[in-house]
Chain A
Amino acid sequence: MLRFVVRRLLQVIPTLLLLSLLVFWWLRSLPGGPATALLGDKATPERIAEINRGLGLDQPILTQYWLFLGRVVSGDFGTSTITGEPVLSEIARFMPATIELSVVALLIAVLLGIPLGYLAARYRGRPLDVATVIGTLVGVAVPVFFLGYLLKQYIAVDLRLLPPSGRLSTGIDATDVTGFAVLDGLLTREFDASLDALRHLVLPAVTLATIPLAVIVRITRASVLDVLGADFVRTANAKGLAPITVRSRHVLRNALLPVSTTIGLQVGLLLAGAVLTEKVFVWGGIGTMLADAITLKDYPRLQALLLMGAVIYVVVNLLVDISYAVIDPRVRLS
C-alpha cells in the first residue's frame, strides 16, 4: 500500500511541473507581457524595463522559470494589483467562504445523488427513474447563473424564505474565529449566528450542487445497473442470499467504486462553478476574487488562482486514487 502511495505521489510531480510551466508560459503570453499586465495602461518603456528587471525578466528563460518556481514554492504569488495586498493573504481570507460553500454543495450532491441514483436504477424504467433521468439531463443544461437568479428571485425575494445574498446578515453580532461562519457560531456558542450563516448557505449551495448532483445521480444509476447485471450478483441471488444482503453487501459496495472517483472529479467543477455562483449570490470567496481579477485584469491574482485551482484538482484526484486503492486491491497491482 505504501509503495502504491509513493508511486502515485512521484507520478504527480511531473504533471505539477508541466502545469507550472504552462502557467508560466501563460503569464508570459499576456498581451504586452507581464510588466504591461502589472502596470496596466500606465506602462511607459522606462517603467516596463524597471519592472522587467524587478521580475528578473532580463535573465535567460530557464533561470526565469527556476526563479518563478522558487517563488511559487515559497508561496510568493506577488501582490494583487487591485488591493496592493499579497495575493496569498487574500486567498487565505477568501478561502474559508469557498470551502464552506463547496463542502455543503458537495454534501447535498452526494447525500441526495447516491440514493436517487440507486433508486432510479432499482426501479429502472418506472416513473421515478424516468423523472430522475430527465432531471439530470435538464440539470446539466441550465446555465448556473440563470438558475441561481431564479432561486434568488422566487425563494428569497418573492417568498422571503431565505436571504438573497451574502454570507451573514449585516449588523448581526458574529465573532470571527476560523473564517467558517457556521463553525464560528458553534465554537463561540452564538447559535443564532450559525443558523443565520446556514440560511445564507442554502441557496448558493443548492445552485452550486445542481451539476455535481446530476452527474453523481447518473454515474450511480449506471454503475448500479452494471453491477446488478454482473455474474457475482446473479450467483449471490442464486445462492439464495436475502435480497437485502445482496443489495448492501454486493451491489452498493461495488457500485460505489466508480462513484467515488466521480465525486473527486466534481471538486474541480465546484471550483469553476463557484465563479458563477459566487457572483450571483455576492458570496465573498475565491470565485468572486477570480471574477474581480478578470474584470480588473489582476494578473498576479489570476495566476495564483489558476495554479491553485489546478493543484487542488490534482491533489484531490490523487486522494481519490488512493482511497480507490484502499477499497479495491486490484488497483494497487496495475
Chain B
Amino acid sequence: MTTFTARRKARIDELAGGRSLTSEAFRRLRRDPVAITGAVVVGLFVVVAALAPLLAPHGAAETFVELKRDLRPGTIPGPMEGFPLGSDQLGRDFLSRMLLASQQTLLVGVLATVIGLAVGVVIGTIAGAFGGWVDTLLMRLTDVLLAVPHLLLAISVAALAANPSQTTVIIAVAIVGVPIFARLLRGSMLAQRESDHVVAVTALGVRRSAVVLRHMLPNAIGPVIVQATLTLATAILDAAALSFLGLGDADPGRAEWGLMLAQAQAYLDVRPALAFFPAVAIIVVALGFTLLGESLREALDPKGSR
C-alpha cells in the first residue's frame, strides 16, 4: 500500500473500525446539543423539501403580472401582498422558488450521495470480501481517485458531458464520494472477516454471499451513515460550485439553491436578498449535515468523545 494519502486513508480506516449504531451511541447523541442542533436542522430541511410542493404557494417557473408590472433590469419588486419575499429577476415568486429549491437541492445531494455510496459499497464489498489481487487492484484505483482534489475531480467529470444538465451534476458529485465509501466499506469488511462472529457463521456452512450480505454488510453500516451525512454537506457545496463555474443545470427555470445563488450574482446591487437567501440556506443545511455527521462520528468512536 502506498502511503502518500496514508493519513487520509488511515482516517477512513479508523472510521471503518467503528461499531454499528448501538443504543449506547444513541444515548450519547440524545444528550449532545450539537447532535440535536444538527438533527433539527436536517430534519426541518427534509420535511420542508418533502412538503415543498404543498408549502409553496406557486410554481417555480410561473410568472405573475403583479410582479412583472414594476420589474425592470435595475429594480426587482420586494415583498408585497401575496408574495412575502417579493419577486425574483424574472417575475417569479421568490418564496415559492426558495421552498421548491429545497427539494431540488436535497434531490441533487441525496442522489449524488446515494449513487456514490452504491458504487462505493459495491467496490468496497468486493474488495473486502475477496481480498487478494482484486482488493489490491480496486484499492489502487481508489488511491488514484483520492489523489485528485475532490472539486477538481467533479469538474473533470462534469466537463466530460457535451451539455451540462442536472444528471451530469449529480454524477460528477457522486464520483467524488465513490473512493471514500469504497475504502470505508473495505476496511469494515476486512475487520469483520477476522471477527469471531463471521468466522463462526462461516464455520456453520452459510453460503459466502449470505455471509457477506447478511452478516458483514449490516455491521459496517454505522460508519457509512456517518460518512454519507458528511458527504451530503460537501455534495451540496460542490453542486453549487459547479453551477458557479457554468457546469450546472441546463434548465434555468428550475429552482435549486446553488443555481439561484450563481444567477443572483448579477443582482447583488439590485436585490441582494436573491443571493443571500439561497446562500444562507446552503450554509445552514451544509452546517446541519456536518454537525449531525460529526456528532454521529463522535458517538460511534470507541475512544469516546474528544
A–B contact (CB under 8 angstroms): yes
CA–CA, A294 to B241, complex, Å? 13
**Is B5 among interface residues, defined by CB-CB distance under 8 A?**
yes
Chain A binder among B105-113, B146-154, B188-196, B203-211: B146-154
CB neighbours (8 Å) of A146 from chain B are: 261, 275, 279
A295: shortest Cβ distance to chain B, in Å? 6
CB neighbours (8 Å) of B141 from chain A are: 18
**Per a CB cutoff under 8 Å, which of A141, A261, A313 touches B237?**
A141
Asked if B143 and A15 make an inter-chain contact with CB atoms under 8 angstroms apart, the answer reads: yes
CB neighbours (8 Å) of A318 from chain B are: 4
For B268-301 the 0/1 string (1 means CB < 8 A from A) is: 1000000100010011101100110010000000
Asked if B240 and A143 make an inter-chain contact with CB atoms under 8 angstroms apart, the answer reads: yes
A222: shortest Cβ distance to chain B, in Å? 6
Instruction: Indicate the size class of the contact surface on chain B.
Output: 35 or more
Q: Which of A225, A272, A295 has the most CB of B within 10 A?
A: A272
Asked if B282 and A143 make an inter-chain contact with CB atoms under 8 angstroms apart, the answer reads: yes
CA–CA, A219 to B265, complex, Å? 34
CB neighbours (8 Å) of B261 from chain A are: 143, 146
**Known contacts being A19-B147, A294-B155, A306-B148, is A222 close to B306, with CB within 8 Å?**
yes
CB neighbours (8 Å) of A12 from chain B are: 2, 4
**Is A268 among interface residues, defined by CB-CB distance under 8 A?**
yes
Asked if B149 and A269 make an inter-chain contact with CB atoms under 8 angstroms apart, the answer reads: yes
User: Quick one: closest B residue to A10, CB to CB?
Assistant: B2
CB neighbours (8 Å) of A14 from chain B are: 2, 140
Chain A binder among B15-23, B46-54, B242-250: B242-250
User: Quick one: closest B residue to A268, CB to CB?
Assistant: B149
User: Quick one: closest A residue to B284, CB to CB?
Assistant: A141
**Known contacts being A18-B140, A144-B241, A226-B306, is A302 close to B156, with CB within 8 Å?**
yes
For B131-151 the 0/1 string (1 means CB < 8 A from A) is: 000000000110110011111
Chain A binder among B24-32, B84-92, B159-167, B212-220: B159-167
- Contacting B at CB under 8 A, from A1-41, are 8, 11-12, 14-15, 18-19, 22, 26, 29-32
Asked if B149 and A11 make an inter-chain contact with CB atoms under 8 angstroms apart, the answer reads: no
Given contacts A141-B237, A272-B149, A310-B144, 20 further A-B contacts (CB under 8 A): A11-B3, A11-B4, A14-B2, A18-B143, A22-B144, A30-B160, A141-B233, A141-B283, A141-B286, A145-B244, A271-B152, A272-B152, A276-B244, A279-B244, A294-B247, A295-B246, A302-B159, A309-B149, A313-B149, A321-B6
A→B interface (CB under 8 Å): 8, 11-12, 14-15, 18-19, 22, 26, 29-32, 137-138, 140-146, 149, 153, 222, 225-226, 258, 261-262, 265, 268-269, 271-273, 275-276, 279, 290-291, 294-295, 297, 302, 306, 309-310, 313-314, 317-318, 321
B→A interface (CB under 8 Å): 2-8, 140-141, 143-144, 147-152, 155-156, 159-162, 233, 237, 240-241, 244-247, 258, 261, 265, 268, 275, 279, 282-284, 286-287, 290-291, 294, 306
